[in-house]
């Protein structure tokens, strides 16, 4: 015990030694997650041979699960295991899932169909459980390592923590597509998915080992109970109590949550009211994530039909996703230090909700740009299909490499003769070989995707960063995690919307689907702007203080009343004693 306390007391430049293990763990884990995710849709499309819609649907189902499981992880950590054990156990599940994904791409040892489908689905399920489960725990566990006198270091830690997330995302999105393009694996020339999945799996194992090494230095808090459960119970009691007293004979209450007053404190009810007010604004938000997360699916598939030759640099389709983290690291400081102050100097009241509305509109415009790019791709493919003359026809070319003519009969066609190529002397083949190009390679350049990436990233910076700040400022002191869970839930719902549209709409033209998504987001943007107009900003600390003061006053009144009653009782007792003395 003394050794543990000694290690915990160790500091480097004012920082606890333990947080360095947490930072390295986060970098490796984010590298593992984003590296695997970067090549995932191409793995579905070109290794497992799914069509575009099925590949997109499974991809977004996986992403949605990754944003649903944080709720489970938070409940387990706060109510049962604690943050440390939750991170350890779910990281083991996470690492196993990554290893299973790498094995699923080794063609000779996968399932009976030898396509890796079953193993890959199992691996993705384990990864979703692991990465989502530890998501709400790692940052909070890092914050637990600091003592009261290290408030400045704690703030710096969260900045470094965010930098590790983006750094891991950027490097993995560059590296894993390169690894994917190596080798020649079982009739999948140029696609080495075991390596592309194996390196992220190795990084996840490293993340787990590093975290375990620092075990003796961590400050581990015991589970304190989960406020989310209390919130759910309070809301459930209010609904049930209101249903019991639905008769008109019972007096109405100002808010339906007031029906919980019989069992719960007024302060808790007031805090839940503030949370519900913000959660109501969250209703339109999933549509933004519906468009945003298609960078890794539809936009990556779009890039496979484009030319990635940038001179000395040949970009893989999945490497275009690196444009997003690069722009984020560039645009965030520009927005904070230049754009927002300039808007303020112009006298414009650019409130957080107005920023989020602009972010939605920018994301919609990004999909308009993607639709324009897709139209140009379709035109380019149509023009280069010289023999087919149509995007919906195929061609079959037969070559006779023998020395005599061959008669060929195809169904529903008359017999025809193919003349012999007369290759009698193999050593003289090089003299008679000539190149013939019927259909030109992809001619529309991948650089045309940069405008849509720029617009979607601007939308992310204005929408996502502002939304997190708004949620934090409007949340009660003990319910910020509740709103964080609600925010992550909107991401999950957004990915489920992609799944629904991809499977149900069945739009043949990809550009039309892009326009559909853009139109839906513009409509939602209008609705959100109306909701934002009628929203009244709150000061949670002030509201909580009012209820605490009321509670203190009520307690004081109760104590004063009890004292008065005691005085009356004592006075009666004195009278009784006097009477007894006289008697």
Q: Which of 19-23, 91-95, 434-438 has the lowest mean pLDDT?
A: 434-438
Instruction: Enumerate helices (H) and strands (E) in the chain, giving the number of each.
Output: 21, 8
Instruction: Give pairs for 18-22: CB < 8 Å, separation 24+.
Output: 18/145, 18/214, 18/217, 18/218, 18/219, 19/142, 19/145, 19/146, 19/157, 20/214, 21/210, 21/211, 21/213, 21/214, 21/217, 22/138, 22/141, 22/142, 22/145, 22/161, 22/211, 22/214
Q: What is the mean pLDDT of residues 255-272?
A: 87
Q: Which of 116-125, 184-193, 520-529 has the lowest mean pLDDT?
A: 184-193
**What's the confidence (pLDDT) of residue 51?**
87
pTM: 0.76
Residue 240 has pLDDT above 60, yes or no: yes
**What's the confidence (pLDDT) of residue 436?**
61
Backbone phi, then psi, for 79, in 5-degree steps? -105, -15
Average pLDDT, the chain: 81
pLDDT digits (tens, 9 = 90+) for 427-478: 575 555 566 666 566 678 898 999 999 999 999 988 988 887 788 778 787 7
pLDDT digits (tens, 9 = 90+) for 32-71: 999 999 999 999 988 888 988 889 889 999 999 999 998 8
**What's the confidence (pLDDT) of residue 33?**
95
Q: Which of 136-140, 206-210, 259-263, 341-345 has the lowest mean pLDDT?
A: 136-140
**What's the confidence (pLDDT) of residue 6?**
47
**What's the confidence (pLDDT) of residue 113?**
59
Other CB atoms within 10 A of residue 407 CB: 8
Q: What is the mean pLDDT of residues 537-543?
A: 83
Q: How far apart are CA 285 and CA 471, in angstroms?
A: 13
pLDDT digits (tens, 9 = 90+) for 138-165: 888 888 888 878 777 877 787 778 778 8
* 307 token code pair: 């030319």
Helix (H) or strand (E) holding 321: none
pLDDT digits (tens, 9 = 90+) for 491-538: 999 999 988 887 777 788 889 999 999 999 999 999 999 999 998 888
Going by pLDDT thresholds of 50, 70 and 90, the confidence category of residue 566 is very low
Residue 110 has pLDDT above 60, yes or no: no
Q: What is the mean pLDDT of residues 212-227?
A: 84
**What's the confidence (pLDDT) of residue 65?**
93
pLDDT digits (tens, 9 = 90+) for 359-392: 999 999 999 999 999 998 888 766 655 444 444 4
Percent of residues, the chain, with pLDDT higher than 90: 31
Domains of the chain (ranges plus CATH)?
Answer: 15-222 (1.20.1250.20), 285-387+441-537 (1.20.1250.20)
What is the full DSSP assignment across 423-491? ---GGGHHHH-----SS----SBGGGGHHHHHHHHHHHIIIIIHHHHHHHHHS-TT-HHHHHHHHHHHH
Cite the beta strand spans of 320-420 per DSSP E: 406-408, 416-418
**What's the confidence (pLDDT) of residue 7?**
46
């Amino acid at each position: 015990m003394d050794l543990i306390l000694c290690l915990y007391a160790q500091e480097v430049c004012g920082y606890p030694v333990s947080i360095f293990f947490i930072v390295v763990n986060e970098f490796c884990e984010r590298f593992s997650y984003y590296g695997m995710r970067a090549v995932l849709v191409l793995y579905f499309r070109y290794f497992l041979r799914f069509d575009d819609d099925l590949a997109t649907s499974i991809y977004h189902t996986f992403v949605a699960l990754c944003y649903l499981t944080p709720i489970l992880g938070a409940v387990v950590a706060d109510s049962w295991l604690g943050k440390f054990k939750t991170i350890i156990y779910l990281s083991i599940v996470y690492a196993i899932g990554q290893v299973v994904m790498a094995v699923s791409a080794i063609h000779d040892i996968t399932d009976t169909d030898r396509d890796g489908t079953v193993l890959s689905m199992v691996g993705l399920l384990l990864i979703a459980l692991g990465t989502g489960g530890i998501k709400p725990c790692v940052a909070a566990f890092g914050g637990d390592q600091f003592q009261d006198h290290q408030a400045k270091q704690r703030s710096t830690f969260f900045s470094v923590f965010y930098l590790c997330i983006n750094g891991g995302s950027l490097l993995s999105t560059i590296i894993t597509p390169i690894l994917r393009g190596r080798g020649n694996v079982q009739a999948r020339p140029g696609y080495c998915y075991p390596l592309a999945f194996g390196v992220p799996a190795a990084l996840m194992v490293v993340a787990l080992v590093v975290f375990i090494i620092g075990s003796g230095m961590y400050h581990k808090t015991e589970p304190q109970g989960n406020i989310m459960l209390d919130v759910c119970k309070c809301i459930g009691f209010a609904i049930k109590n209101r249903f019991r007293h639905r008769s008109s004979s019972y007096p109405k209450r100002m808010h339906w949550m007031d029906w919980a007053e019989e069992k719960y404190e007024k302060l808790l009810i007031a805090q839940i009211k503030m949370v519900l007010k913000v959660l109501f604004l969250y209703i339109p938000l999933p549509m933004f994530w519906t468009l945003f997360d298609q960078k890794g699916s539809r936009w990556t598939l779009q890039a496979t039909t484009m030319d990635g030759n940038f001179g000395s640099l040949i970009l893989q389709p999945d490497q275009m996703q690196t444009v997003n983290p690069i722009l984020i690291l560039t645009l965030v400081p520009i927005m904070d230090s230049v754009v927002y102050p300039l808007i303020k100097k112009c006298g414009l009241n650019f409130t957080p909700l107005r920023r989020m509305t602009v972010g939605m509109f920018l994301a919609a415009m990004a999909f308009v740009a993607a639709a324009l790019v897709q139209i140009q791709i379709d035109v380019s493919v149509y023009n280069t299909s010289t023999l087919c003359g149509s995007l919906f026809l195929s061609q079959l070319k037969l070559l006779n490499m023998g020395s005599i003519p061959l008669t060929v009969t195809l169904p529903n066609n008359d017999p025809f003769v193919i003349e012999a190529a007369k290759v009698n002397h193999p050593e003289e083949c090089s003299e008679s070989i000539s190149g013939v190009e019927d259909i030109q390679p992809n001619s529309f350049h991948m650089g045309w995707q940069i405008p849509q990436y720029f617009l979607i990233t601007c939308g992310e910076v204005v929408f996502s960063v502002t939304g997190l700040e708004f949620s934090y400022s409007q949340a009660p002191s003990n319910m910020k995690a509740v709103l964080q869970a609600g925010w992550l839930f909107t991401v999950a719902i957004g990915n489920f919307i992609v799944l629904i549209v991809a499977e149900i709409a069945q739009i043949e033209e990809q550009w039309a689907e892009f326009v559909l998504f853009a139109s839906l987001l513009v409509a939602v943007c209008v609705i959100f702007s109306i909701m934002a107009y009628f929203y009244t900003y709150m000061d949670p600390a002030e509201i909580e203080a009012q209820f605490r003061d009321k509670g203190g006053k009520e307690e004081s009144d109760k104590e004063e009343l009890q004292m008065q009653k005691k005085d009356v009782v004592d006075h009666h007792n004195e009278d009784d004693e006097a009477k007894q003395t006289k008697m």
